Amino acid sequence: MFSPSTLGAVIYVKDLERLTKFYRQVVGLEVAHTESTFVVLESPIFQLVLHSIPAAVATSINISSPPIRREDTAVKLVLPVSSIKSARTEALALGGEVNPPEREWQFQGCLVCDGHDPEGNVIQFRENRNAL
């Protein structure tokens, strides 16, 4: 499915298996390729590469439960979901979170809500309201 013009992002993760499950179930990305140090997840228009943090570095990283959001980063992923309500339930079950309904807003025909994955990486989830 990959082409040189596919949009994408790379996230360095401590727990490759856990984050793969999160992005597959919450966002609906499919596994396109797996190796020992990374997993490539895809949709028809987007590719997300989850890359393991080297073990020597990963041992020095503590991820609390629940994780502390990494809000001091310059980049926030924006990912489409079919339903923010469903994403909220799935994310919580998998160790992440989508903010409560009172923190949702409308933007360019989408219902939007921020959240984070199980390692605290901040994500903006968007539900296309024009498709309803």
The band of 5, judged by pLDDT with boundaries at 50, 70 and 90, is low
Q: By C-alpha distance, which of 82, 2, 87, 83 is closest to 40? A: 2
Give the SS3 label for residue 64: coil
pLDDT tens profile 14-73? 999 999 999 999 999 999 999 999 999 999 989 999 999 998 898 899 999 999 999 888
Pick the CATH number of 7-54+67-128 from 3.60.9.10, 3.10.180.10, 3.40.140.10, 3.40.50.2000: 3.10.180.10
Q: In this model, does residue 2 exceed pLDDT 70?
A: no
Find the DSSP H helices in 1-132.
Answer: 16-22, 55-58, 84-93
Region for residue 86 given its phi and psi (left: phi exceeds 0; alpha: psi -120 to 50; beta: otherwise): alpha
Q: Are 37 and 75 in contact (CB under 8 A)?
A: no
User: What pTM was computed for the model?
Assistant: 0.91
Domain ranges for the chain: 7-54+67-128
Q: In this model, does residue 1 exceed pLDDT 90?
A: no
Residue entry with tokens 């797996």: 34
